[in-house]
Structure 1
């Protein structure tokens, strides 16, 4: 514990160094993302920061740092609580161990088919209110969320149907995702993202749950894995933009409105940008001999039916998780995604 506190204290010193260009702003915020420097997703986050400054006439200046710039990705929640960071752009699923509802809200495996469905749930239905309820004990306020779109599975062998996952070794985090794939006989193996390329190359895994097609292509996974399930289906996760609740409450209604609008625009920008990048990657990879596998609606329904059972078991872990699942299932029924 002392080591963590010492690390956060040192990080606070680093984060406190102001940007010279932000000196005139009323609010100067350091917000760390979950994205690596130079990636398409981080560039989208940086555009969001610039948009905030423009929308607020310079009243709010955001320093949009990449992953690991101040603290580790799994440490941003505590860093924001303690004032080391002013905010985070991170995946709420990281906090599943604190509250299972973060997993249910952070990305239900096999739930949605396109980003619009997910974004509508959060912005037009109950999703964002429930996420705020989950963060309330930590004094954190999520202004809004974004998604990078439907993730693809890079594979070293073809998987045309769910039952063909039997015996396939997949890099995957333990939890809701791995439990669904285990129902079809897959063998989940947990490892850091930095180890995926080597694991594919050495045959430690046959595939990996990581990112969208373009994100996987960017990391070189398809130099080795000559198959991909695309368009993706199994995963579409979210990342929130969150600050301390006390800071949010101190803002004028006008600034709150502009910040909310900026995050919503950011969500649209990231979704559309990643969709374009995925389409470019699909054309490029197909030309390089990578086989893109598009599952049938029947196969998707088979996968989702197995996922629903896992959702229900997972939701039993907390009252809020159950509340969040009931809300999403009602919404999905309205879309005809489940019965």
Structure 2
């Protein structure tokens, strides 16, 4: 009985210590300032708000977020550095904005011409060794990659028809920075790099003929098809991995329970985003057709022209050890999925 009593007492003490530690971690408050480039009325903006609501509720209010939409604190491309230097705590834009820092960010932001679905791209991150490879890159710049939310293939917005690759000749359009400019130049287009928030005005004033902004539903939410009446659907050229990345020191100082909540909630956001856009893009396509917007589905032959131009640009852009390692990782996984041949 004495041994049993001692064991029970030890177990009770251990349970009490665990409960006390858990209570202590939940009593700690984490306050975060997060910026996204998405407007609150877009589909992605609403999903970001749901993520914030989820982590606040799951933490019983001990994670508190001040959310900034439409890049209201700093420009979209400056969000990463603002988080790394403590102006913000977390960046909810995407890695492709940081290609000027290291071209490796292209291959965690938008490989272009690679994966066909969000599920394939997410599987590389979580089951193809992608997260470990990407984390080394983010940590080098004092940031922690928490997770991805991938809405699927983007659609373009244009004042001119974009029926096939030939229509890109002399097509002046807004492009994000990075590899995309090289790919579209190969196809005869004239990409102009500008901030996400400047797209509407540039289209409205005729500075550009079209824009690579987002998915069809997001583009509609931004009002782009109120200005121009041509788009492609389904998309093919770009499938950005929007990210949540946080200041590394800030992340490491957070209670483990808070880090777990945010990481798992990002996986939920990833699935919710992919499923939501399956539906929202189809609804947007039906509405846009009814409103007189021309939607073009490209032939397999024209799609292959784009993939060839994209894949020819990967090695050109992989000019650092980190970029080369990520391209090799993607190629191995794409080959395993049967999306590229050896």
TM-score by length of 1: 0.85
Q: What does residue 320 of structure 1 align with?
A: 322
Which SS does the other structure have where 1:97 is aligned? Answer: coil
State the Cα distance separating 1:225 from its structure 2 match.
Answer: 2.5
1:93-132 aligned at under 5 Å gives the runs 93-132=96-135
1:87-119 Cα deviation digits (max 9, x unpaired): 221211122111110112110122222211111
1:271-324 Cα deviation digits (max 9, x unpaired): 222332211110111112222111123322221111111011101x20000000
In structure 2, the gaps of 5 or more residues are 1-26
Report which stretch shifted further, 181-190 or 305-314: 181-190
Task: Indicate yes or no: 2:308 matched with 1:300.
Answer: no
Match of 1:184 among 151, 163, 187: 187
Q: What does residue 70 of structure 1 align with?
A: 73
Residue pair 2:134, 2:145 contacting (<8 A) in 1 also: yes
Q: What does residue 234 of structure 1 align with?
A: 237
Q: Measure, in 1, the Cα distance between the counterparts of 2:174 and 2:119.
A: 28
Q: Measure, in 2, the Cα distance between the counterparts of 1:205 and 1:247.
A: 40
In structure 1, the gaps of 5 or more residues are 1-23
Report which stretch shifted further, 324-333 or 165-174: 165-174
Match of 1:335 among 324, 327, 337: 337
Q: Measure, in 1, the Cα distance between the counterparts of 2:65 and 2:257.
A: 17
1:192-234 Cα deviation digits (max 9, x unpaired): 4455445445544332111111222223322343221111000
Q: Measure, in 1, the Cα distance between the counterparts of 2:263 and 2:194.
A: 36
1:108-160 Cα deviation digits (max 9, x unpaired): 12222221111111122222222211111222111111123211012233333
Task: Indicate yes or no: 2:261 matched with 1:258.
Answer: yes
Q: Measure, in 2, the Cα distance between the counterparts of 1:240 and 1:175.
A: 17
Q: What does residue 162 of structure 1 align with?
A: 165
Task: Indicate yes or no: 2:186 matched with 1:175.
Answer: no
Change beyond 3 A, Cα 1:318–1:29:
same
1:39-97 Cα deviation digits (max 9, x unpaired): 32122111111111222233322222213343333332332233222222121112211
Which SS does the other structure have where 2:92 is aligned? Answer: strand
Q: What does residue 5 of structure 2 align with?
A: none
Residue pair 2:100, 2:178 contacting (<8 A) in 1 also: no
State the Cα distance separating 1:253 from its structure 2 match.
Answer: 4.1
Residue pair 1:34, 1:91 contacting (<8 A) in 2 also: no
Report which stretch shifted further, 317-326 or 72-81: 72-81
TM-score by length of 2: 0.84
How many equivalent residue pairs?
316
Residue pair 1:134, 1:320 contacting (<8 A) in 2 also: yes
Q: What does residue 37 of structure 1 align with?
A: 40
